[in-house]
Amino acid sequence: MKQDTLITHSGRTSPYFAQSVNPPVYRCSTVTFPSMAAMAEAQADHLNAFYYGRIGTPTTHAFEEAVAAVEGGERCIAVPSGLAAIAGTLSALLKSGDHVLVSDSVYGPTRTFCQDVLAKNGVQVDYFHPLLAENIEVLFKPNTKVVFCETPGSLTFEMQDIPAIAKVAHAKGAIVVADCTWASPIFYRPFEMGVDVSVLAATKYIVGHSDAMLGTITTSEELYPVIKSSVVKFGYSVGSEEAYLGLRGLRSIVPRMKQHQESALKVARWLQTRDEVARVLHPGLPEDPGHELFKRDFLGSSGLFGVILEPYPEEALIPMIDGLKLFSLGFSWGGYESLITYTTPGIVRNTVLWNADGPTLRLHIGLEDPDDLIADLEAGFERLNAFGG
Ligand SMILES: *Cc1c(COP(=O)(O)O)cnc(C)c1O
């Protein structure tokens, strides 16, 4: 079946749903069993069964089934946030004495987890330059167990050659984990790129409405019990309400992604024409250094990109941003609404420094009319230029 059909039909056949189109929200801690034998049977299969609310409910199972189908993986594990997907996967696959290679352009809290939890517990963490591709080979050690990628990288939007990295990693016996949140499963097919475990902040485009926290870990049948049992040991638990919102969001993700893509490209191209802008960081644009990889590996782009401004003083951004009417200031992204943030990608690099003379902004283009968004930004640039004058 094609992806659109899977998105519409996956996760709808559970006998628990009594023919309703959408799954009921199972509010459940205790599950009761009709007999000792039935209880023992559920316990033996507790990573899959409806056994205890913390481990999963028919609602969370439906969400997992749909995400696994849509991503093209075999099994999915729902977790309470995108960060829990990253932390849960890395904790399951690494132990003291192991070595992990992490992209230097990775999402900030991923880096914090690696430093403050993994490294503290005896895992060796090294960062690789996101543009290394097959040259990553020189960084492998005999104890390298995992390579953690994120493409394009948070804040800088640098593209990674994941097929090349995966080829090296697999030859060395390492597992490739990738944070594929930016493009969503609609525009990036991680398992066709050699990824072994795909982690998503479902909070972003899957939920799609900025109203729930949710993460997913999608992987093979083989790695499923390794990661799921670890997640269960930590007590990560997804509420059925959140899983319901994730599944509901997923049903409309295709038209939303197409609109985010089209509107973001329109705003990005307009920004490229502006004197205030030094560079637009968007791999979907032909001028972007990552565009060749983007064309090869991606089916489309999302609503999130960066902008490096000409060297304006930081204070000049205050009237520009505070006065915006349609862009809200806020973290996260992937909802229906437009957002803007001031970012500092340069301060957290371990490999080659990221240099930009001017301030960097990150924009999430929502589902508003892009012409209205452009007018809002244009008025913002007038305030930027008027600053101090
Ligand atoms: C937001 C985000 C996460 C974390 O997701 P939460 O649900 O907020 O924990 C992870 N990776 C990327 C790339 C993100 O943008």
**Residue 314 belongs to a domain with what CATH number?**
3.90.1150.10
Residues 247 and 278 in one domain: no
Q: Are 98 and 84 in contact (CB under 8 A)?
A: no
**Which of 209, 227, 251 is the C-terminal boundary of a domain?**
251
What was the pLDDT predicted at 347?
A: 76
Give yes or no: residues 164 and 302 share one domain. no
Q: Would you call 54 a catalytic residue per the annotation?
A: yes
Say yes or no: 71 and 213 in one domain.
Answer: yes
pTM, entire model: 0.97
Shared domain for 265 and 247, answered yes or no, is no
Alpha carbon distance 58, 27 (integer Å): 10
Within this chain, do residues 322 and 383 fall inside the same structural domain, yes or no?
Answer: yes
CATH number at residue 71: 3.40.640.10
Atom of ligand 1 nearest to the CA of 215: 7
Q: Are residues 278 and 348 in the same domain?
A: yes
Number of structural domains in the chain: 2
Of 188, 218, 251, the domain-final residue: 251
Tokens 């697999």, located at residue:
170
Among candidate residues 75, 111, 204, 256, the one labeled active-site is: 204
Task: Report pLDDT for 154.
Answer: 86
Helical residues (DSSP H) of 301-369, grouped into ranges = 317-322
| Cα–Cα nearest to 222, from 196, 203, 247, 246 | 196
Quickly list DSSP for 264-308: HHHHHHHHHT-TTEEEEE-TTSTTSTTHHHHHHHBS---SEEEEE
Looking at the chain, which runs of residues are DSSP E strands? Answer: 75-79, 99-103, 124-128, 144-150, 175-179, 197-201, 215-219, 277-281, 304-309, 328-329, 339-343, 360-364
Pocket residue to mutate for ligand 1, from 203, 214, 217, most atoms within 8 A of Cβ? 203
Q: What is the pLDDT of residue 170?
A: 98
Residue 41 and residue 379: Cα distance in Å, rounded? 65
Q: How far is the CA of 154 from the centre of ligand 1 (A)?
A: 9
Annotated catalytic residue 179: yes
Q: Which of 227, 251, 275 represents a domain boundary (last residue)?
A: 251
Parent domain of 366: 254-388
pLDDT along the chain (389 residues), means of 10: 93 92 96 97 95 97 97 98 98 98 96 97 97 97 98 94 98 98 98 98 98 98 97 96 98 98 98 98 98 98 97 95 97 96 86 89 98 98 91
CB 172: neighbour CB atoms within 10 A?
A: 15
Q: Examine the domain organization and report whether 197 and 241 are in the same domain.
A: yes
Q: d(Cα 365, Cα 379) in Å, to the nearest integer?
A: 17
**Predicted pLDDT at 356:** 87
Domain match, 152 and 296 both: no
Q: Are 290 and 159 in contact (CB under 8 A)?
A: yes
Do 158 and 208 belong to one domain? yes
Going by CA atoms, what residue is nearest to atom 4 of ligand 1?
82
> 34 with 130, same domain?
yes
